[in-house]
Each structure stands twice: as structure tokens, then as C-alpha cells.
Structure 1
Amino acid sequence: MNFQRLSAWFLKDSGKKFVFGCAVATSVGIGCVQIFPNTFLLDKYKEIIHLYKNGFTVPVSRSLLERFNKALELLEIDEIHHKQFNPFMTCGFDILSAGTYYSHFGVIIGLPINYTYIDVEHIEKSKIKILDQGVAWETDEGDRLLKSLAVSENAQIYAIAHEIQMRQTPKYFSDLFSSMGLFIGAYSVGNHMNKKYNLYGRSFGLRLCLYGLIGSFALVNYLFIKDATQVYYEKKTDEFLKSKSPVFQEGGKEFYESILNRNKALRSIMGKVGEYHYTLMGNENYGFRQKHLPLVQRRAFFEESHLPLQSV
């Protein structure tokens, strides 16, 4: 009885106004989820993913900071804008970034601890765990993983430059406006169809199916736009870096070689979990999505001076 009364209330003007208000609030919330971690809460996000040792943040070493500044110089970014890019040590073995160049909050670039390894002899093997288990370093897979963690200087400079350049693209705004726009569009289409076909007088189950279809369509379109723009800007960034400096060309080749070797090793070491995440070639498995350009293709692009980078 209570459900029927609630359902009937939603069909009244007051109920429709309430739903409209919820739709507006949800749209704003979707925007805030993407805006805040990249602007107002950027420092808080940095604190969460920062690398800590004995309760204190691990500072960026002088040599690594020099490589970071080298990437800025090769990109020919004005010195007055260098402060827009803030490096810090992050957890894990992957470089990452957040923020946008077009905000006064700037960009944070998370540098992994293995960028401080001079060679394999300096790697603290006992502290590396995979699926909460130690690694059998004496095996072929363990040896391949170990070598992949010692990333060359050129590869590090390329990886840093790639994150810096990506944060200067409109990718952030594309994700923001597409997510908000598609949600508002989904609500508008649902509301229009309810009025046009008088679905308010039909069963709630029918309207629920309609909302599900419209919502699914909007979600698929958002993921498509998000992935397509990611692949597009990755392609443009790699093409720009390769033409910018021989350091980036050599570094890109070495960087993707190390990542592919790492993924191949992890695929074997992690068993079924590794097979789910990585292919035999070392590419990442994304299911029906294409979140990034294939790693094998990106390595080949930097290996061959005449090979164009194709979006897939």
C-alpha cells in the first residue's frame, strides 16, 4: 500500500518537481565527483596516494627531480609555468597524474618508487609482494619482472613528459561535460517520452524498463566518448613527443618495452588473475572497452620512425 501511494505521489506535480530537483542535484553531483579531486581536493587526493615511510612522506630525490625538470625543458614549457606541475612519490609502480593545467590548482605527477632504482641490485626485493605473496626471483618470470622495474632515465623522462602533456589537453573537460550532458540528456529523453506517449498512465514497470534502456544507452555513450578521447589524445601526445626530441623517441621505446615485460611477468606470476588482466603479448585486457592504445602498438610506433600510430 505504501509503495502504491508513493508511486502515485511521483505522478503528481509535486512528485515530478521532486524528481526534477533530484535530476539536477545528481547532475551537479556527477560534475563535483570529477571537479573536486582535480581542483579543490587535489591536495587531499595527493595525501591519499602519497608514498609514506615510517609515517612520513617520501620526498622526491634530487636525481629524479632533475629528470622531471629535464622533461619540462624538453617540452619547452615556460619557466614561470613550471610551478603548475608538482611531482611527488606515489604508491605502486605506475606513474600517474591528476588535475589540469588550466586550473590554478595545477597538476600533480605521481612518480613510482622504482624510478629511484639505479639498477636491479638496488631493488628491495623482499618488500615487493604480488597478491600478498613474495616473488620467486630466481625463476625466469621473477627475473623478467625484476629487470622491468629498473626503468631507464630516458624512459622516465618520456613517461613524465607524457603525463605533463596529457594534462594540457582538453581531456579533463571532455570527460566532465560528456558525463553531465549525457545524464541531463537521458533525463530529458525519459521525460519527453513520458509526456509524448502518456506513460505516466501506464504501469511503473514499463517506465522502469524505459529508464533502464535510456540510462544504459547514456552510460555506453559516455564510456565510448571517454575511451575514444583517451585514445585520441594519447595518439596525439605520442606523435608530438616523438617529433619533439630524440630523448622522447628512445625513451618511449624503452618505457613500453619495460611495461610489456612487466605485464608478461605478472601474467605468469599471478596465474588466473594475471591472465584476466594481461594478454600473452603484454597488453592490458579491457573487455569490450578500449581504454588505451595497445602497448605493443605504442612501442612499435617509437621503434619505427616511419610508422604511423593508428587509433583503434
Structure 2
Amino acid sequence: MAARFLWKVAAMVERHRTGFLTISCAGLFGANLTFHILPEDTFRPLYQAWAKGKPVELPENVQHLFHEVLIEGRIQSGNRYRAFVVFSFHPVSAGLPWLPAGCLVGIPANFCDTTDDEHKIANHVVVIEGKEVDWESPEGLILKGTLTFSPEAQKFAIAREAMYLQNNGPLTRAVVAPVCLAGTYVCGVAIKQLLGLYSGPVLLRGLYNIAVLAVGLLGYCLSYDAVSQAVEYKADRSAASISTDFARGGVEFYNKILSQNKSFRALMGKSGEKIYAPNGNLSPTYWIRLKHAPYTSRRDSIINILNLPQA
């Protein structure tokens, strides 16, 4: 019964394959842009930091810093960008400046502190592997230093997110899945016709389809990771090119992220060893996947910008 139903579904898809392909590609594209189309309704509730049952308000000094970044970075349509406090340790962002909903940039609560008032970070409660971090322990003291940034490093981190949105990074990433799906389908059909498999045994066509799906999935993984890394490098270069101070802040930011990840690796034990490499980079979840550019190479690319002769 189930086999007959699947056969009918396959026959229907075959008859209306162009329509199904169009709907599938549009659905994938829309799903990947969900956070960016309505960031206030989808993205902000997910990342919003809360304290005593209320959303944490962005301090005035951080709000001022955010507007400075938009001005100094010459962000187009700067009035389309809004900031709020997030619970994560790194800035996050969503939206597209040319959409009606605009853009949201999430700024971590630890950005309210700087290297000049490092002791304030101890007011934050950080729980790792079910245990609250003791800020006075050797590991806690090291982690405390990695969670506080100079104003220059904070400005770079915020500028990087703003540049990512201005460069249409979310759109670039969202295009990969439908393009790979369409490419896999078109190539699969073309090769099937070329080899004359449509008139061949059903089993052979089934094995061929499975092989095409496997190759298509592998191609998507590799393509998405390559595009994602390229988008991240571009955002870093755009932020570091604003001024020398931003570039120096970028080097500091990534150095502290690497030190921060080393601290997490030590505090989390065996689970930390699976997530973080000894040098502080993120370990690949799967052997063929590297969704984000290594922090060491991102830092080195900014150092190369600093080493360029100034005009």
C-alpha cells in the first residue's frame, strides 16, 4: 500500500516537476530568510537578554557607541539599524536594510563593560556545564579578561555585523540552497537523458537518483560553507578598512575570542574538547563541514590589512 502511494507521488512529481522545483526553491529561499524578513518577531525574541523578568535595556553609552560605528563606518541608511542587548558573548544580527523591517544588531551584555572596568563582568552570572563560574578562581580570572573588550574592539565587532547586513550577507547565504537544488535537479535530468536511463530498469533509475541526491547534498554542504566563509571575510575586511583603530580593534577582538574559547575548552572538559580546538578555533561538527571561517585566519587577514602601506 505504501509502495503504491509512493509510486503515485513520484509519478505526480514527474508530471509537474517544473512546478514542484519552483515551489521547493522558493520555499528554501524564504525559509533561510525568515529571521531577516521579520527580525523583530523572529530574531529578537530568540536572542533578547532578560533580567528580573524584563528585557535588558541597552545602556546609553553603548547606544552612543553603536551610533558612532554607523557614522564612522558610513553605513548606508543608518536609521534602518537598531540595537538591543543579547545574552550571547558575541554580537549577532539579522535583517536587510532595504526591507521594511530594517535591521537589528544584538550587542552582548558584557559589551557594557570595557577593559577599564573589568571587575564589572563579575556581576554577570555565567553557567558552564551546569556550574556557575567562580570569577575569583584561576579559570574565572582568565575568562573575565577575555570577556572585556576595549572600545576599539567593541566598535569593530559591531561594525562587522553592520557590514555583514549592508553587504547583503544573509541574502547571499540564502541563495545557496535553492541554487544547489535547481542545479542538482537539472544536472540529474540532463545526465539521465544523456545516458538513456529513462528507458532503463526502474531499479537502475532509483540507484541513480540516490547517487544524484548524495552528490547534490555534498555539493550544497561544500558550497554553503565556502560562501559563508567568504561572506564573513568580506564583513571583516569592510569593518577593518574603516580606520586603523577599527583594524587594531579587530585583532584584539579575535585574539580575545581565541583565548575565550580556550578557557571554555578547559572549563567544559571533554565536551569542550569536542567543540573547541586547542588553538581556540571551533572544531568542525562533521568532517566535511566548516560553516565558519577559522578565527585565526580571520585575525590574520586583519593583520595583513594593518601591514598594508598607508596611502
User: TM-score range with shorter-chain normalisation?
Assistant: 0.7 to 0.9
In structure 1, runs of 5+ residues without a counterpart are none
The one-letter code sitting in structure 2 at the alignment partner of 1:39 is: I
The alpha-carbon distance between structure 1 residues 4 and 284, as it changes in their structure 2 partners (threshold 3 A), is closer
**TM-score normalized with structure 1 length:** 0.85
C-alpha deviations, 1:162-221, integer Å up to 9, x for none?
A: 1111112143332222211221222333444555534475235x4443333222322222
Range with bigger deviation, 138-147 or 249-258: 138-147
1:1-312 aligned within 5 A: 2-10=1-9, 12=11, 14=12, 16-17=14-15, 21-40=19-38, 42-77=40-75, 81-118=77-114, 119-124=117-122, 127-195=125-193, 197-199=196-198, 202-204=201-203, 206-286=204-284, 287-303=287-303, 305-306=306-307
How many Å apart are 1:275 and its aligned residue? Answer: 1.0
Q: Distance in 1 between matches of 2:167 and 2:280?
A: 27
Q: Distance in 1 between matches of 2:150 and 2:62?
A: 12
Secondary structure of 2:104's match? strand
How many Å apart are 1:122 and its aligned residue? Answer: 1.3
Q: In the alignment, is the contact (CA less than 8 A) between 1:193 and 1:199 conserved in 2? A: no
Q: Distance in 2 between matches of 1:250 and 1:295?
A: 15
Range with bigger deviation, 89-98 or 290-299: 290-299
CA RMSD, Structure 1 to Structure 2 (Å): 2.7
Q: In the alignment, is the contact (CA less than 8 A) between 2:97 and 2:103 conserved in 1? A: yes
The one-letter code sitting in structure 1 at the alignment partner of 2:299 is: R
Range with bigger deviation, 194-203 or 217-226: 194-203
C-alpha deviations, 1:46-102, integer Å up to 9, x for none?
A: 122211223322111100011111111211235xx2221111111221211111223
Q: In the alignment, is the contact (CA less than 8 A) between 2:82 and 2:103 conserved in 1? A: yes
Q: In the alignment, is the contact (CA less than 8 A) between 1:267 and 1:274 conserved in 2? A: yes
Range with bigger deviation, 18-27 or 53-62: 18-27
C-alpha deviations, 1:235-287, integer Å up to 9, x for none?
A: 33333333321220221122112111100100111111111111111111124
The alpha-carbon distance between structure 1 residues 209 and 223, as it changes in their structure 2 partners (threshold 3 A), is same
The alpha-carbon distance between structure 1 residues 234 and 45, as it changes in their structure 2 partners (threshold 3 A), is closer
The alpha-carbon distance between structure 1 residues 211 and 124, as it changes in their structure 2 partners (threshold 3 A), is farther
Number of residue pairs matched? Answer: 303
Q: Distance in 2 between matches of 1:295 and 1:15?
A: 44
Identity of counterpart residues, as a percentage?
A: 26
The alpha-carbon distance between structure 1 residues 33 and 51, as it changes in their structure 2 partners (threshold 3 A), is same
Secondary structure of 1:86's match? strand
Q: In the alignment, is the contact (CA less than 8 A) between 2:95 and 2:102 conserved in 1? A: yes
Q: Distance in 1 between matches of 2:190 and 2:302?
A: 50
Q: In the alignment, is the contact (CA less than 8 A) between 1:130 and 1:270 conserved in 2? A: yes
C-alpha deviations, 1:99-121, integer Å up to 9, x for none?
A: 12232322110111111124332
